[in-house]
Amino acid sequence: MKALKWLDKYFEIIYLVLALAAIVVIMTTQIICRKFFDVSLAWTEECCRHLFIGMGIWGIALTIRENSAIKFDLIVDFLPSKGKAIFGLVANLIMLSFFSCLLVPSYNVYLSMKATSATVMPYNMDLVYGFLALGFFMVIVRSFQMCVINSKKILSKRNGEQEVEKQ
C-alpha cells in the first residue's frame, strides 16, 4: 500500500525528470559532436521531439494531480472554501469529459500507426502514439481523482454545517 501511495504521488514526476534529463544529455551530445567533431547525429532531434511530446501530456496529468491546472484563480480566490471546491469539481468534470472524448481517437491512431516507422529512430510510431493514449488515460484518472477529492470537500462542508446547526 505504501508503494502505491508513493507511485500515485510521483508517477508523472519520474517520467518528467527522466525525460528532461535524457533531452539534456542527448542535446548536449549533439552539440559536442557538432562543435568538436563536425559530426551531426541524425536521431537526436526526433528522439527529443518524442520525449517532449510525452512531457507535454504527462505534464497535464501532473498539473491536474497537483491542482495547478489553468483556471480562473482571480475569481476563485474570492470564493469561500465551498465555492472553491464546487468550482474545482466543475473544472475537473470539464477536463474529464474533454480528455475522455480524446481517449478513443488517440487509441485508434495508436492502432493505425503499428506499421509506420519513425523517420530515423528504430521503433514504430505506435510507441509514441500509445504513450500519448496512456497519457490521456492518466489525465482522465487524475481528473477523476480530483473530482472525488472535491466532492468529498463539498460533502464534508455540508455535513459540518449541518452539525453546527444541530448544536
Please report, in tens digits, the pLDDT of each residue of the chain (167 residues total).
888 888 888 889 999 999 999 999 999 999 999 999 999 998 999 999 999 999 999 999 999 888 887 766 777 888 888 888 888 899 899 999 999 999 999 999 999 998 898 888 888 899 999 989 999 999 999 999 999 998 998 888 655 555 444 44
For residue 59, the model assigns a pLDDT of 92
Cell of 159: 455535513
Task: Say which DSSP state 4 is in.
Answer: H
